[in-house]
Every structure is written in structure tokens, then in C-alpha cells.
């Protein structure tokens, strides 16, 4: 009775844990999209794109006029005095008439508005805007690169977890058969029909399968933990893959229906190269003349230099022509720097293109080989299952031995594991191919659904 009460207490303690833990069923593509939507690496590139958009908007403000407001107060002294000798001597005066007048006032006040606009600059502004736009495109392409890298990591972790889980299930079935064989060998030995050698062989098989099961369970937990970390899940949340390895391997047919565009890394380098060329154009046009127009409206006291007893509105309109004819050779040196940068980007693009061509070729070759291995593994499994049925029939009829049955079961076990391995290789090769093609999340809701 006490043991029963103890069991109820243990169950009561375990129930909240199961109630709090969350089981998260996911297809592979659902996991890919979830990781891309929340991962900090992609978030950083989104922030970078937003910053590039802001810089492009800053460059576009060069097309807008500039308006400024100012107000000043100035105390200026001494006040200058204008002395004029008229050369005329009034009647009764001892000398010529001299006029003395203060020019200006001690206190000066003004408040006004100024507006200016660059009317013409040979397209220097448009080149700067184009360069800023290419920076936005480069940031967007970098986001695609990060998404493709994360998608590859998710697909590897997901396929590994599924493979290890199915391999563990095969091992569990084989272990159950081995334990049944061991029980029969024990009975046969007790009845005097068996020997220690047969029992030792079965014990060795059981030990091997138990070790394999433990190893597979641990590795599957590691794969699921990696997937949970990519998804940003809590420790009490368990990701449960909902697709089989056969579905993941069968999704290879999707690649023929999914259009492949420019790889994000190539698109990023293209955008950077165009941005460098736009900078070079803008730099060259900065050395050409520019024409600005401006206007000024202000209220001031005194109204003018000579009207020291009046205040009022004053205005000014004008145009300014500027041309930085010589800058000490700065622009030519900057042009050489940009030319070297453009050559560097071109070389990097060629290297990346060659690497992607090689990776795509390797992935396609591996995918074709895995398809061949899949067909061979299915035929081998069918043959092993036929042999196992024949061995059991022969053992039941007395024309075969239990050793033949164990060997046949071992063959089925190995054939199932070989099939799982071929399916895993196909899924991994498909993930590598999509990564080399720059794919992130597919447009389908899941590989299994797309396959069906």
C-alpha cells in the first residue's frame, strides 16, 4: 500500500512537468521559415538594409532646396562718423561748412529666411543616389546569403534528427528480436538442446544493439537540441519533426519545379561593383562646374547703412557659379582607389562564381549517386526480407537452424539501415544543392506536402 501511495506522489510531481513542456510539431520547411524569421543574423542584415535605405534617402535630399532661418543681434562700436567738407563758407562763418554725421547705430538687429537650390551639377547628385541604391541591393542580397546559410543548418539538423530517430526505431525492433532469440536460447540450453556458444553469440548481438541504441538516442537529442537553439526555443520546448526520411529524400523532385535565380552572393558582389562604379562617376562629376541659385528675405534695423533711423524688409536674389578646378590631385588618387576596388570586386565575383559552379556540380553528382544507392538499398531490403521469411520457414520445418534465422535478421537490419543511410544522403545532398543555388525557404508549405 505504501508503494502505491509513493507511486501516486511521483505521478503528481511529474504531471506539472508534462503540462508545462510544449511539443512543437514542425515540417522541415516550417522550421526553416521560423528560423529565418527570428534569427539574429538575419535580423542584423535587415537592420543593415534599413540603414542603407536611410542613406539612399539622405542622398536623394540633394535634389531638394535648402531653407534656413536666422536671427542676430550685434552691439558694434564705436559708431563711424562721416565728415564732409562742403568747401562753402556761410556768411558770418569763420571757415568752410563741415558736415559731421554718424553712419550706423550701436545696436543692430536682423531676422530672416534664406533659401538655396543647386540648379545644375552635371549629374553628380544622381550618381550618388545610384550608389546608395546599390548599397541597398547589396544589403538585401546579404540577407539572402544569411538566410540560405541558416536554411542549410536547419535542414542538416532536421534530417539528422529524423535519420537518427528512424535508425533508433530500426535498432529497437532488432533488439526486441534479439532478446526473443536470447530467451529461446536460454530455454534451449535449460532443456539441454542448446550450447554456450549460441547463447554467447546472441548475448553479443544484444549488447551491440543496446550500445547502438544508446548512441543513436544521444546523437538524436543533440540534433534536436541544435534545431531548438536555431529556433530560439526554451529548454522546456521540444521540437518534433513531422516528416519521414523518405519524404525528405523524395523532395528531390521539387528542384525541377523551383526556379533558380542569381545566387545571393553573386547578386551582392554585383551590387557592390555597381555601387563602386557609381561612386567613381560621382567623384568625376564633382570636378565639374556647379550652378546654385539663392534668395534672402529679412527684417533688419537699421534698414540700411545710411538709413540709421529706419527699419524694414530687405531682400536679395542671386546665382553662384563654382568650379573646383584644382584640388591637389585628390580626386585622381581617389579614382585610382575606386578602380582598384572595382577590380577586386570583379575578381571576388569570378572566384565565387567558380566555387558555386563546383559546389552545384558536386551536389548534383552526390544527389544522382544517392538516388542510385536508394534503388539498390530498396532491392537489397526486399531480398533480405525474402531471405528472412525463408529462413524462418525452414527453421520451423526443421530444415534450418536458428543461426540461419539470426543471420537473416541481421541482414534485414543492415539493409534497413543502409536504406535509411541512402535516404539521409539524398536529403543532405538536396540541402547542399539548394544552398549552392542560394535557396532559403521554399514557396511550398513543406517538403512532404509538396511531394504529395
Run of H or E including 321: strand 312-322
Give the separation between CA 146 and CA 36, rounded to whole angstroms.
9
| Residue 37 Cα to chain centre, angstroms | 9
First-to-final CA distance of the chain: 54
- State the average pLDDT for the chain: 84
Which of 59-68, 99-108, 326-335, 375-384 is the least confident region?
A: 99-108
pLDDT score of 404: 76
Count CA atoms closer than 13 A to 402's CA, side-chain side: 18
pLDDT score of 445: 33
Among 32, 63, 187, 175, which Cα is nearest to 129's? 63
Q: Is the pLDDT at 307 greater than 90, yes or no?
A: no
Average pLDDT over residues 357-384: 89
Average pLDDT over residues 175-188: 80
Cβ–Cβ < 8 Å for 213, 174: no
Q: At the top level of CATH, which class does the domain 23-64+121-288+323-451 belong to?
A: mainly alpha
DSSP of 153-171:
HHHHHHHHHHHHHHHHHHH
Residue recorded with cell 537452424: 401
| Residue 30 Cα to chain centre, angstroms | 16
Task: Give residue-wise pLDDT tens across range 373-385.
Answer: 888 988 998 898 8
Q: Is the pLDDT at 309 greater than 90, yes or no?
A: no
Torsion (CA) 100, 103, 107, 112 in degrees, nearest 10: 160
Domain ranges (residues) in the chain: 23-64+121-288+323-451, 71-113+295-317
pLDDT score of 149: 93
pLDDT band at 334 (very low <50, low <70, confident <90, very high): very high
Task: List the grid coordinates of 208.
Answer: 551491440
pLDDT score of 10: 35
Q: Is the pLDDT at 217 greater than 90, yes or no?
A: yes
Residue 22, beta-bridge partner list: 237
pLDDT band at 252 (very low <50, low <70, confident <90, very high): low
Cβ–Cβ < 8 Å for 121, 24: no
Q: Is the pLDDT at 322 greater than 80, yes or no?
A: yes
Average pLDDT over residues 386-404: 78
**Which residues, including other chains, have CB under 8 Å from residue 199's CB and lie 6 or more apart?**
182, 185, 186, 189
Percent of the chain whose pLDDT exceeds 70: 88
Among 153, 145, 69, 52, which Cα is nearest to 111's? 69
Cβ–Cβ < 8 Å for 431, 28: no
pLDDT band at 163 (very low <50, low <70, confident <90, very high): very high
Among 92, 193, 170, which Cα is nearest to 418's? 170
Residue recorded with cell 553479443: 204
Give the separation between CA 56 and CA 125, rounded to whole angstroms.
11
Q: 387-403: buried (b, 16+ CB within 10 Å) or exposed (e) per residue?
A: bbeebbeebeeeebebe
- Hey, CA dihedral for 93, 94, 97, 99, is it positive or negative? negative
Note the pTM of the prediction, 2 decimals. 0.77
Count of positions (residues) in the chain = 452
pLDDT band at 316 (very low <50, low <70, confident <90, very high): very high
pLDDT score of 142: 94
Give the separation between CA 61 and CA 219, rounded to whole angstroms.
57
Radius of gyration of the CA atoms of the chain, in A? 42
Give the separation between CA 389 and CA 412, rounded to whole angstroms.
10
Amino acid at each position: 500500500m505504501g508503494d502505491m501511495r509513493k507511486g501516486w506522489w511521483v505521478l503528481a510531481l511529474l504531471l506539472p512537468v508534462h503540462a508545462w513542456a510544449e511539443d512543437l510539431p514542425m515540417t522541415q520547411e516550417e522550421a526553416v521559415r521560423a528560423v529565418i524569421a527570428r534569427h539574429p543574423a538575419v535580423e542584423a542584415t535587415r537592420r543593415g538594409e534599413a540603414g542603407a535605405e536611410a542613406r539612399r534617402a539622405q542622398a536623394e535630399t540633394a535634389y531638394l532646396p535648402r531653407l534656413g532661418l536666422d536671427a542676430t543681434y550685434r552691439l558694434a562700436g564705436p559708431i563711424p562718423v562721416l565728415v564732409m567738407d562742403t568747401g562753402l563758407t556761410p556768411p558770418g562763418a569763420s571757415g568752410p561748412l563741415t558736415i559731421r554725421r554718424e553712419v550706423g547705430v550701436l545696436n543692430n538687429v536682423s531676422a530672416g529666411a534664406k533659401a538655396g537650390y543647386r540648379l545644375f551639377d552635371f549629374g553628380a547628385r544622381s550618381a550618388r543616389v545610384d550608389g546608395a541604391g546599390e548599397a541597398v541591393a547589396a544589403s538585401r542580397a546579404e540577407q539572402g546569403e544569411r538566410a540560405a546559410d541558416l536554411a542549410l543548418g536547419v535542414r542538416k539538423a532536421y534530417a539528422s534528427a529524423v535519420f537518427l530517430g528512424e535508425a533508433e526505431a530500426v535498432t529497437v525492433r532488432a533488439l526486441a528480436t534479439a532478446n526473443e532469440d536470447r530467451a529461446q536460447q536460454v530455454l534451449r540450453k535449460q532443456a539441454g538442446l542448446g550450447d554456450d556458444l549460441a547463447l554467447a553469440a546472441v548475448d553479443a548481438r544484444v549488447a551491440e544493439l543496446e550500445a547502438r541504441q544508446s548512441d543513436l538516442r544521444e546523437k538524436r537529442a543533440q540534433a534536436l537540441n541544435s534545431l531548438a537553439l536555431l529556433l530560439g526555443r526554451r529548454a522546456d520546448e521540444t521540437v518534433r519533426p513531422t516528416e519521414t526520411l523518405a519524404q525528405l529524400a523524395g523532395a528531390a523532385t521539387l528542384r525541377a519545379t523551383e526556379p533558380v535565380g542569381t545566387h545571393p552572393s553573386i547578386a551582392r558582389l554585383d551590387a557592390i561593383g555597381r555601387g563602386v562604379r557609381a561612386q567613381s562617376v560621382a567623384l568625376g562629376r564633382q570636378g565639374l562646374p556647379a550652378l546654385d541659385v539663392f534668395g534672402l528675405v529679412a527684417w533688419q534695423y537699421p534698414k540700411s547703412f545710411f538709413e540709421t533711423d529706419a527699419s524694414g524688409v530687405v531682400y536679395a536674389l542671386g546665382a553662384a557659379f563654382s568650379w573646383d578646378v584644382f584640388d591637389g590631385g585628390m580626386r585622381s588618387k581617389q579614382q585610382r582607389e575606386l578602380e582598384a576596388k572595382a577590380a577586386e570586386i570583379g575578381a571576388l565575383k569570378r572566384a565565387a562564381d567558380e566555387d558555386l559552379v563546383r559546389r552545384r556540380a558536386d551536389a548534383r553528382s552526390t544527389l544522382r549517386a544517392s538516388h542510385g544507392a536508394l534503388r539498390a538499398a530498396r532491392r537489397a531490403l526486399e531480398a533480405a526480407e525474402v531471405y528472412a521469411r525463408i529462413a524462418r520457414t525452414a527453421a520451423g520445418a526443421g530444415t534450418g537452424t536458428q543461426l540461419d534465422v539470426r543471420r537473416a535478421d541481421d541482414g534485414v537490419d543492415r539493409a534497413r539501415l543502409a536504406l535509411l543511410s541512402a535516404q539521409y544522403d539524398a536529403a543532405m545532398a538536396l540541402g547542399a544543392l539548394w544552398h549552392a543555388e542560394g535557396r532559403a525557404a521554399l514557396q511550398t508549405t513543406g517538403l512532404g506536402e509538396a511531394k504529395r
